[in-house]
Structure 1
Amino acid sequence: MQKIHSHKISVIPWTVNDVEDMKKLIDAGIDGIISDYPDRLAHIIKN
């Protein structure tokens, strides 16, 4: 992710609906997530 960000590129994957995938992507340092289940994502971010 650092290499991509060093080129001023944002990473915003879609459609991420699996909770474990969301966690992995957040831990990897992505810039955003597009999901059909924003409530799941909000719960992960809060915790």
Structure 2
Amino acid sequence: MIKQIIVDMLVRKIKNQEINPNTGEAFKVEDIKVAEYQNAVQEII
């Protein structure tokens, strides 16, 4: 079960082009490791 608050946080990070500290680049949907969250974010974006 996914938590909507986490989905919202991930969407916000992607839309605001926040820098991913692991890659040094803006967050992308592909950076999300859990498939359920990746799918939920893709539906919103």
Q: State TM-score, norm by structure 1.
A: 0.37
Q: State TM-score, norm by structure 2.
A: 0.38
Q: Which has the higher helix share?
A: 2
Larger radius of gyration: 1
